[in-house]
Structures are given as C-alpha cells and as structure tokens.
Structure 1
C-alpha cells in the first residue's frame, strides 16, 4: 500500500507540472500559412528626414483571418534576413549608403499601419480581442544617414507570425517570404559630397599694425570646389555651407592660441563670401554655394571667400596670427 500511494502522488505531481494550454480559437481559420511577398523591380525615392520612409511597397496577405485568445497570451513576430541592425529601431542596413529596410505588418482590414505589428516584436492579448492576422505586409526603405545612395537593394527575408505557445491551433506559424530585389531610383539626394582639396591654406602675409588700426589690411581671396555624386538632377539642388571654429560672432575668427605668449593680441580674421555676407559659424546661418557645372558622375559647386586681418578690441600687439576653421556642407 505504501508504494502505491507514493506512485500516486508522483503521478499527481507530473500532472500539475504540465504547462497550461493557451485558450485560443479561430474566428476565421486561414487557408494558407505561407505568403510570397513580390517586391517591385524599381521604386523612386521621395524626400524624407533621417528616420523617415524614402519608399514603400505594400502587399495584401490573407483574408482578414481573426484569432481569439485570453488575456496574457503572446504572439511573437520574428524576421530573418542576415542584415546588420542600424541605429534606428527595427531598421536594418542595406548595401546602399543611407538606406535601411524595415518590414511591418498591418492587422487592420483596410491595411492602416497605425494598427500594426513590427518585425521583430510581440503582441500581448489584453482581454478578449479579435486581432486579425497580418492583412498587409509593408516593406519600407528608411533613410539612415545624410548621404543617400541609389542602386539595387536586396530584400530577401522571412517574417513569421507565431501563434501563442500551446494554443493547439493549426497552422501555428504564418510565414511571409521575400526573395526579391528592388532598384531604388534617387533623384532627390546626393550619395556623397567631397572637396578635391581636403586642406585649404590661405596665406595672410605680414601686416603692419597701423593697417589693422586703419582697417586698410589687404584682402586675401580663396575658393574651393565640392563634387557631389549620386544623381544627375535636372535642376541642381541647393547646397549650403557653414563653418566651425573659435568664433564669437559671424564673420570673425579668433586666432589660434589667443592670449598665449607669442600670439598677436587685439586681432582676429574677418571672413566674408564673395558677395559680402559674413561667414556663418552655425547651421541656422548656412549660406548657399554656387553651382558651377555638371560632370559625368557629379554636380560641382564652388565657394569663394575673402579673408583679412581686423581689430577685435583692446590693444593690438604683434605676434603670430594663425587661425583654423572647418567647413560643413548642408545638403539635407
């Protein structure tokens, strides 16, 4: 008798350890559990800020199949594509600079993305609900950087909607598979802009203190060109520029090592563009560069400026009078 009782209790423990079944049932059972996502051969990029959608493809899937589950049950969304994550949530890097890819699904009959799933992600049932399985799959091409390229983007992925564990329903997994590629046409953004002269030296010469006091210092003119690649616009895009350096006001650059022994005092370098505008040292004040010409694979812009020594206040003393600044291109 004693052994029988021990065996009875052991069996009871095993029964209690059995995981509870999720209580789910179909409102409308799906006829298919695998859908092929047909990526278009080409899409045209539209303007968007960093993090915004440059281009989008949507495809209807299923027939608004519904699932009922109790509170706390969880459906999981997974995606596999072999891509590296970007700095933007659920957006993955592609082979084209400045463009990432994101896959989302709507659970609305009309396909609104405001009521959707993200891949990867989760959906936790809250009370009795009727969330439809994915009704539309969206493949989004997201801007991830300032420079935006163009070209063939591979969109091979397998996205899955996995029903709550132990629901007992069939099918238990819905799969959405893409094996295509899309050529993204970029007529909006440059893929890169660079100067042919990474460092520009402007010889200022030796200037008498008397000329600085009388504001008769000689002007030194300088210029440089910037080549921007990635597209051939019919109308050149506006290219703006501003500067970074030790400056307390627009158009005035402090000397390197100001206040140190051997450095001139009471002197700064006054800077303007060739139209007489003071050079800005912040992005809001950025000024336009002049478009020069189109080349085979680029658009060429030119900046022309003028530099001269000027009094900055206080006693003027002789000494070394060098300064440096960096230009920043703004083609957002």
Structure 2
C-alpha cells in the first residue's frame, strides 16, 4: 500500500512540472489593458511607368501614419527566448537579387518594399525576427509605414500587384500589433507604336548656285513621324549620325560616302523639330502624349558648310532613337 501511495505522488509531481513549463512559454509577452492594435487598409494610386525608365527607378513611394503615440507602451516581454517580434510580408514573390528588402510583385519588373516609419525594420518574406525583452512601445517604427515600388528589370509589364499584407506579430499577443492590408496597385507601362519605321525623304535636284555661302539653306523637305501612344507617355528622341568634319556645328550630318568621287562637297544635312536643329547624340524631349495618334512633323534640309559647293550626289542616312522616359 505504501508503494502505491508513493507512485501516485510521483506522477502528480510530474504533471505539475509540465504545466508550469507550458505556462512560462505562453506568457513570454503580455499586452497592457489598454492595448489597441493597428489594423489599416491602404491603397496605392495607379502608377504609370515610362517604358525606358532606368532600372532601379523609384516608381512610387509614400508614408502612411498609424496614428500611434511613439511613447505609448502596449506590451511587456520577458527574457524568454521566445519573446520576439516578427515583421512579415505576405502576397509577394521572391526577394530581388541585388536589392535590399525588395520583393517581386505579380507585375513583371516591379518590386515592392514595406518599411517601418524609421526604416529600422522591414517587412520581409519570410519574416524578420526581432528579439526584445522589456516594454514594447510604438516608438518611431510604429508611428508610420512606408511603401515603395521600384523598377527591378529593364522590361516592365502592366497589371495589378494583387493584395499584399504587412504583419508585425509579437509572441503571445493576439490580435497582432500591426496588420496593414494593401489593396492591389494598377500598374501601366507607357509606350508608343510607330506607324512607319523607315522614311525616304526626296530632296530633288538643287543647283549649286542656290547655295549662297556657308550656313545657307536653299531647300528643305518635311515628313511626319506618326505614332500611337498611351496617355502621359513622354516621347523623346536622339539623333544618330556622323557629324560632318567641315563644321563644329553638332547638328550637321555628313553626307554618305563623304569625300568619295561623285559625292557633293561643302554641304551637309540638318534635321529640325519645331524649327530648331537637333544635335547629334542629344536626347530631346518632344512632348508628353495626350493619348492616341500623335503627329510629329520633322524637317530635313541641306546646309552649306564651306565657301564653295561642289556638285554631286548628296544622300545621307539619319537614325532616330525613340525612348519613353
């Protein structure tokens, strides 16, 4: 009978010990009586991307307030190793190589970053753990959060990023201290389509006598670069060609086969937009499209580069690089 009594006491001691250990882990952090979590829904305005914007460009960034007092405490945590805060980002893809705290969205070429107000902590996938014992205050990190969209690839798509959630959880605290639900952002990559990529501009025959001195421009012809563009697309051009060796003027293009027999001498070619000559290799912003068909009229003309003009063929090839920045 004594042995049975001893065994019963022994089993009871083990049960009590297990319960004590479980209770200790559960109380790693305790919320204050006036604890009130952050539960916000935010939206990102529609974002338009110029197709040729540089990789790494910030497409959108904005800071949102949570309305919390930085000095207000909301929970107390023990020194137990399980007392950690975790900053997690849901609804995103993989971390982007070469960038810090940037994650892929469902729109190709567009990455997202969600940071606490002081940029001390970043919501990540998987979550970033922050061990801390003592009083948790909203401090600078809890007063606001910042959303940033970044161009992460040369080519970007269009579409909706889908819903993304940023959650800060704390051991033993329910509901989570911070839950930010971001409604999907509509992303549109802007560009234009060109009606014709090759132009032949006939200049006709011009008597050498029509050139009256260096800088004279006896004849010109026009052509229209027709384009169909998205609204707000920034249309830029860069003129490519070989500058004539006869002048320091960077807008004068050399004739094809310059200096060869049968080729005219003392004359070059200029391309103008809005009545102004365009320099070689210089990026020129033409306009921001209002959307739809765009008519972009250019003028081509000969210009005398020497005191005398020698008759001959006067052909030239010019290339226009069109970008949207």
TM bin (shorter chain): 0.5 to 0.7
Q: Summarize the Cα distance change of 1:103–1:305 in structure 2 as closer, same or farther, 3 Å threshold.
A: same
3-state DSSP of counterpart to 1:252: coil
* Residue number in structure 1 paired with 2:101: 90
3-state DSSP of counterpart to 1:310: strand
Cα drift, residue 299 of structure 1:
3.3
Q: Summarize the Cα distance change of 1:69–1:263 in structure 2 as closer, same or farther, 3 Å threshold.
A: farther
1:46·1:55 contact (CA, 8 Å) conserved in 2?
no
1:243·1:328 contact (CA, 8 Å) conserved in 2?
yes
Structure 1 residue corresponding to 2:240, chosen from 225, 236, 245: 245
Cα drift, residue 242 of structure 1:
3.8
* Residue number in structure 2 paired with 1:156: 164
Matched, 1:119 2:123: yes
Report Cα offsets for 1:14-53 as digits up to 9, x if no partner.
Answer: xxxxxxxxxxx86967999x9866344x735599994152
Structure 1 residue corresponding to 2:145, chosen from 138, 142, 146: 138
Show structure 1 runs of 5+ residues with no match: 1-24, 106-112, 164-168, 232-236
Show structure 2 runs of 5+ residues with no match: 1-27
1:67·1:131 contact (CA, 8 Å) conserved in 2?
no
Matched, 1:305 2:298: yes
* Residue number in structure 1 paired with 2:23: none
Matched, 1:43 2:50: no
For 1:180 and 1:115, locate their aligned partners in 2 and report how far apart those are by CA, in whole Å.
18
* Residue number in structure 1 paired with 2:226: 225
Q: Summarize the Cα distance change of 1:249–1:175 in structure 2 as closer, same or farther, 3 Å threshold.
A: farther
* Residue number in structure 2 paired with 1:101: 112
3-state DSSP of counterpart to 1:90: coil
* Residue number in structure 1 paired with 2:194: 195
Report Cα offsets for 1:111-156 as digits up to 9, x if no partner.
Answer: xx23542234969899x99775852563625253999987543133
3-state DSSP of counterpart to 2:226: strand
* Residue number in structure 1 paired with 2:10: none
TM-score, normalized by length of structure 1?
0.55
For 2:137 and 2:255, locate their aligned partners in 1 and report how far apart those are by CA, in whole Å.
66
Structure 1 residue corresponding to 2:184, chosen from 182, 185, 191: 182
* Residue number in structure 2 paired with 1:18: none
Cα drift, residue 222 of structure 1:
0.9
1:69·1:129 contact (CA, 8 Å) conserved in 2?
no
For 2:85 and 2:77, locate their aligned partners in 1 and report how far apart those are by CA, in whole Å.
11
How large is the RMSD of aligned CA atoms in angstroms?
5.5
Cα drift, residue 267 of structure 1:
2.9
Bigger Rg, which one: 2
For 1:68 and 1:313, locate their aligned partners in 2 and report how far apart those are by CA, in whole Å.
85
For 2:75 and 2:264, locate their aligned partners in 1 and report how far apart those are by CA, in whole Å.
78
TM-score, normalized by length of structure 2?
0.56
How many residues are treated as equivalent by the alignment? 274
Report Cα offsets for 1:36-74 as digits up to 9, x if no partner.
Answer: 66344x73559999415256666579975467899xxx9
